[in-house]
Structure 1
Amino acid sequence: MSAVLGSVIGFERERLSWAAGLRTHMLVCVGSALIMIVSIYGFSDALGEHVTLDPSRVAAQVVSGIGFLGAGAILARGQVIRGLTTAASVWSVAGVGLAVGGGLYIPSISATIIILLILAGIKPLEKRFIAYHQRRHVTIKVRRGQLTLGIFNQALGVSANRVKQFIVQPSEKEEYDSVYVVFSRMSPQEYGVIRSKFKDIPGLESISERASDEDIDPYSW
């Protein structure tokens, strides 16, 4: 049962090609169920008049020990951190396994359904209503040495407070520098106002842009 419930959640992560996918979630769920069973029934022979048993002690180690898998699911690239949701799903699956091992079948099935709804069902709503306000990544090519943060802020005016990151990558071989700018989350209309001010940037050669809900990684270029 724990393998089935773990596979339901793991399949959703596998579909998105995350490192912790189908097999990882199944193993975590089965392993935690086994640990719970051992914690409850594995030491019954040791019980006696002066020996008591606390089944929660071994099971509690799953909750803290599963952190090493969660850390492995989180990918850190420069200033970009990804995989927090997958790490949380692995941790949640461990809880499902403990519930199955403890014989709490209805709570474990209910938790699986709720976790699946959170991972797969809420994501479209998140994209529609929350991701509407996105960070904007802009790559600007300007003539060498002509654009600084002060000049850029002057060109944008009051919109300069939207600048989250400003990275200049000088070019030794070409006559143009590459400037990478991240703007804080804003609606398309707000970004349209900023975009109209790009024409005031001195030495401007070209602009490329994309919308994203992640921070820029200055080491990825």
Structure 2
Amino acid sequence: MLSNIEIIARLALSALLGSLVGLERERLLWAAGLRTHMLVAVGACLIMIVSAFGFSDVLSENHVVLDPSRVAAQVVSGIGFLGAGTILLRGEVVRGLTTAASLWAVAAVGLAVGGGLYVAAVATTLIVLIILAGVKPIEEHYQARMQTRPLRLVARTGEMSIDVLQEVTGERSSRIKQFVVRQSGSEGLDEVTVTFVRLSQRSIEAIAERLRQHPGVISVETDVS
């Protein structure tokens, strides 16, 4: 059986490691922040301690065999209920999956500390922090490049076709996702909406500037909502 000091040390370490992950989520103002991650880590740690050492007196009896992993295994499945509470549907976008995953990982950290696997717990915490904070800029950069960017222009009727647009955009013509021409409210003018994909805002501005120089184009807007 563990000493009282060892039990307290394990619980404190799990709270500390959980707080490191929770601080990163708190910085982004998520519902599951500092306290939630600390509670999950400490709770998982205590469950692991109880699972591994809480039945030592019973094991002294004859014909009694216990599997200490059974109680801990319930944490892995049970934490899903808490994680589901952090997942929100905002319009057509699901948010909170990363926070739910971090709660699940923190629960595993707590189990590791409760089982005495300190190196594994600390290493996992560092890896989780690198994933949450270090990989996020890469993810945002990739998502920014993958998002669609519309461009709207007004041109004289018949002056702007897909062939003309491809000639103006050059090598970026392969990034054209949609090309829509509508009759404008003014006679003799067309309203053209072009949607690009995997282009930065700087590239869109460069294309808009080239379109403004085309003789058939009246106006170009890049700030299209």
Normalising by the residue count of structure 1, what TM-score does the alignment of the two structures yield?
0.67
- 1:160-185 CA-to-partner distances (Å, cap 9, x unmatched) read 9625xxxxxxxxxxxxxxxxx98644
Count the aligned residue pairs. Answer: 187
After superposition, the CA RMSD in angstroms is 3.8
- Work out whether residues 156 and 197 of structure 1, in 8 Å CA contact, stay in contact via their aligned partners in 2: no
- Report 1:26-175 matches (<5 A): 26-47=38-59, 48-127=61-140, 129-136=141-148, 162-163=177-178
- 1:107-140 CA-to-partner distances (Å, cap 9, x unmatched) read 101111111111112223434x524514136598
SS of 1:19's equivalent in the other structure is: coil
Partner of 1:214: none
CA distance, structure 2, for counterparts of residue 106 and residue 36 of structure 1:
16
CA distance, structure 2, for counterparts of residue 13 and residue 114 of structure 1:
15
- Tell me: higher relative CO, structure 1 or 2? Use CA pairs within 8 A at least 6 residues apart: 1
SS of 1:162's equivalent in the other structure is: strand
- Work out whether residues 33 and 97 of structure 1, in 8 Å CA contact, stay in contact via their aligned partners in 2: yes
Q: Does 1:20 align with 2:35?
A: no
Q: Does 1:5 align with 2:17?
A: yes
Structure 2's unaligned 5+ residue stretches are: 1-12, 153-161, 167-172, 179-193, 213-218
- 1:62-90 CA-to-partner distances (Å, cap 9, x unmatched) read 11111112111111123101111111111
CA distance 1:109–1:161, shift in 2 (3 Å): same
CA distance 1:60–1:78, shift in 2 (3 Å): same
Structure 1's unaligned 5+ residue stretches are: 141-152, 164-180, 211-221
SS of 1:133's equivalent in the other structure is: helix
SS of 1:87's equivalent in the other structure is: helix
